[in-house]
Structure 1
Amino acid sequence: MPMAANEIEALIREGIPDAEVEITDLAGDGDHYAARVTAESFRGMPRVKQHQAVYAALGERMGGVLHALQLTTAAPAKE
Protein backbone atom coordinates (compact mmCIF):
# COMPACT_ATOMS: atom_id res chain seq x y z
CA MET A 1 0.00 0.00 0.00
CA PRO A 2 1.46 3.39 -0.97
CA MET A 3 2.29 6.07 1.59
CA ALA A 4 0.33 9.30 1.72
CA ALA A 5 2.24 12.58 1.42
CA ASN A 6 1.04 13.71 4.85
CA GLU A 7 2.51 10.52 6.41
CA ILE A 8 5.91 11.27 4.87
CA GLU A 9 5.74 14.87 6.07
CA ALA A 10 4.77 13.78 9.61
CA LEU A 11 7.63 11.27 9.84
CA ILE A 12 10.18 13.84 8.68
CA ARG A 13 8.85 16.48 11.10
CA GLU A 14 8.94 13.95 13.93
CA GLY A 15 12.57 13.06 13.17
CA ILE A 16 13.66 16.63 12.38
CA PRO A 17 11.46 18.88 14.55
CA ASP A 18 12.70 22.18 13.08
CA ALA A 19 12.07 21.08 9.48
CA GLU A 20 9.91 22.82 6.94
CA VAL A 21 8.72 20.09 4.58
CA GLU A 22 7.15 20.23 1.12
CA ILE A 23 6.05 16.95 -0.46
CA THR A 24 5.09 16.54 -4.13
CA ASP A 25 3.62 13.34 -5.59
CA LEU A 26 5.58 13.07 -8.85
CA ALA A 27 3.60 10.32 -10.56
CA GLY A 28 0.22 10.46 -8.84
CA ASP A 29 0.70 6.89 -7.65
CA GLY A 30 1.69 7.42 -4.02
CA ASP A 31 5.04 5.71 -4.67
CA HIS A 32 7.20 8.44 -6.23
CA TYR A 33 7.60 11.65 -4.28
CA ALA A 34 9.81 14.70 -4.17
CA ALA A 35 10.58 16.23 -0.78
CA ARG A 36 12.11 19.61 -0.05
CA VAL A 37 13.30 19.73 3.56
CA THR A 38 14.67 22.93 5.04
CA ALA A 39 15.96 22.94 8.62
CA GLU A 40 18.20 25.18 10.69
CA SER A 41 19.70 22.00 12.16
CA PHE A 42 21.16 21.32 8.68
CA ARG A 43 23.33 24.45 8.84
CA GLY A 44 27.00 23.49 8.46
CA MET A 45 26.07 19.87 7.79
CA PRO A 46 27.25 18.30 4.51
CA ARG A 47 24.44 17.49 2.07
CA VAL A 48 25.05 13.74 2.45
CA LYS A 49 24.47 14.03 6.23
CA GLN A 50 21.31 16.09 5.63
CA HIS A 51 19.95 13.35 3.36
CA GLN A 52 20.93 10.68 5.87
CA ALA A 53 18.96 12.56 8.56
CA VAL A 54 15.85 12.52 6.37
CA TYR A 55 16.28 8.83 5.53
CA ALA A 56 16.74 8.07 9.25
CA ALA A 57 13.46 9.88 9.98
CA LEU A 58 11.71 7.72 7.38
CA GLY A 59 13.26 4.55 8.78
CA GLU A 60 12.52 1.23 7.12
CA ARG A 61 9.76 2.73 4.98
CA MET A 62 12.35 4.09 2.54
CA GLY A 63 12.84 1.50 -0.16
CA GLY A 64 9.89 -0.47 1.18
CA VAL A 65 6.49 1.19 1.41
CA LEU A 66 8.02 4.36 -0.02
CA HIS A 67 9.49 3.33 -3.34
CA ALA A 68 11.24 6.52 -4.50
CA LEU A 69 12.00 9.91 -2.99
CA GLN A 70 13.67 12.76 -4.87
CA LEU A 71 15.24 14.71 -2.03
CA THR A 72 16.35 18.34 -1.78
CA THR A 73 17.69 19.58 1.56
CA ALA A 74 19.02 22.91 2.76
CA ALA A 75 19.44 25.20 5.72
CA PRO A 76 17.20 28.28 5.61
CA ALA A 77 18.60 31.34 3.85
CA LYS A 78 20.09 33.86 6.25
CA GLU A 79 18.24 37.15 6.35
Structure 2
Amino acid sequence: MTPEQVHALIANGLPDAQVTVSGQEGHFEALVICKSFAGLSRLKREQKVNATVKEAITSGTLHALSIRPMTPEEWAQKHPDT
Protein backbone atom coordinates (compact mmCIF):
# COMPACT_ATOMS: atom_id res chain seq x y z
CA MET A 1 0.00 0.00 0.00
CA THR A 2 1.26 3.49 -0.83
CA PRO A 3 0.71 6.81 0.95
CA GLU A 4 -1.46 7.84 -1.99
CA GLN A 5 -3.72 4.81 -1.52
CA VAL A 6 -4.09 5.49 2.21
CA HIS A 7 -4.81 9.14 1.39
CA ALA A 8 -7.52 8.10 -1.06
CA LEU A 9 -9.23 5.82 1.48
CA ILE A 10 -9.32 8.54 4.15
CA ALA A 11 -10.32 11.30 1.71
CA ASN A 12 -13.15 9.18 0.30
CA GLY A 13 -14.45 8.41 3.79
CA LEU A 14 -14.08 11.98 5.07
CA PRO A 15 -14.66 14.15 1.99
CA ASP A 16 -14.50 17.43 3.95
CA ALA A 17 -11.03 16.61 5.34
CA GLN A 18 -7.58 17.79 4.35
CA VAL A 19 -5.38 14.71 4.45
CA THR A 20 -1.60 14.30 4.39
CA VAL A 21 -0.11 10.80 4.56
CA SER A 22 3.52 9.78 4.89
CA GLY A 23 5.26 6.46 5.44
CA GLN A 24 5.90 3.21 3.62
CA GLU A 25 5.74 -0.58 3.76
CA GLY A 26 2.38 -0.75 5.51
CA HIS A 27 3.27 1.76 8.25
CA PHE A 28 1.88 5.25 7.77
CA GLU A 29 1.17 8.52 9.54
CA ALA A 30 -1.87 10.58 8.61
CA LEU A 31 -2.55 14.20 9.44
CA VAL A 32 -6.29 14.67 9.08
CA ILE A 33 -7.77 18.15 9.40
CA CYS A 34 -11.55 18.03 9.40
CA LYS A 35 -14.37 20.37 10.45
CA SER A 36 -16.49 17.41 11.54
CA PHE A 37 -13.98 16.69 14.34
CA ALA A 38 -15.24 19.74 16.25
CA GLY A 39 -16.58 18.73 19.65
CA LEU A 40 -15.26 15.16 19.39
CA SER A 41 -12.67 13.59 21.68
CA ARG A 42 -9.37 12.47 20.19
CA LEU A 43 -10.56 8.86 20.48
CA LYS A 44 -13.76 9.56 18.51
CA ARG A 45 -11.76 11.41 15.86
CA GLU A 46 -9.35 8.49 15.50
CA GLN A 47 -12.28 6.08 15.29
CA LYS A 48 -13.75 8.10 12.40
CA VAL A 49 -10.45 7.92 10.53
CA ASN A 50 -9.92 4.23 11.34
CA ALA A 51 -13.36 3.46 9.93
CA THR A 52 -12.18 4.74 6.52
CA VAL A 53 -9.27 2.26 6.41
CA LYS A 54 -10.87 -0.66 8.25
CA GLU A 55 -10.89 -3.02 5.25
CA ALA A 56 -7.20 -2.38 4.54
CA ILE A 57 -6.31 -3.06 8.17
CA THR A 58 -8.47 -6.19 8.32
CA SER A 59 -6.93 -7.56 5.12
CA GLY A 60 -3.41 -6.87 6.38
CA THR A 61 -2.61 -4.47 3.55
CA LEU A 62 -2.25 -1.67 6.08
CA HIS A 63 -0.29 -2.71 9.14
CA ALA A 64 -0.08 0.48 11.17
CA LEU A 65 -1.57 3.95 10.94
CA SER A 66 -0.66 6.75 13.28
CA ILE A 67 -3.37 9.42 13.20
CA ARG A 68 -3.08 13.12 14.03
CA PRO A 69 -6.69 14.36 13.90
CA MET A 70 -7.31 18.11 14.18
CA THR A 71 -9.97 20.68 13.44
CA PRO A 72 -9.00 23.54 11.11
CA GLU A 73 -9.02 25.86 14.13
CA GLU A 74 -6.64 23.61 16.07
CA TRP A 75 -4.32 23.43 13.08
CA ALA A 76 -4.36 27.22 12.71
CA GLN A 77 -3.51 27.68 16.40
CA LYS A 78 -0.54 25.29 16.20
CA HIS A 79 0.66 26.53 12.81
CA PRO A 80 -0.25 30.23 12.57
CA ASP A 81 2.13 30.84 9.64
CA THR A 82 0.54 28.28 7.30
- TM-score category (smaller protein): 0.7 to 0.9
TM-score, normalised by the number of residues in structure 1: 0.84
Task: Report how far residue 30 of structure 1 moved.
Answer: 2.2
Q: Deviations over 1:31-58 (max 9, x none)?
A: 1111110100111111111100111011
Amino acid aligned to 1:40: K
1:1-79 to 2 correspondence within 5 Å? 3-25=1-23, 29-62=24-57, 64-77=60-73
Whole-angstrom distance in 2 between the partners of 1:62 and 1:15? 15
- Structure 1 residue aligned with 2:80: none
Distance in structure 2 (CA, Å) of the matches to 1:24 and 1:8: 9
In structure 2, stretches of 5+ residues that fail to align are 77-82
Aligned residues: 74
Larger helix proportion, structure 1 or 2? 2
Find the aligned partners of 1:58 and 1:68 in 2 and give their Cα distance.
Answer: 10
Return the letter of the residue paired with 1:23.
V
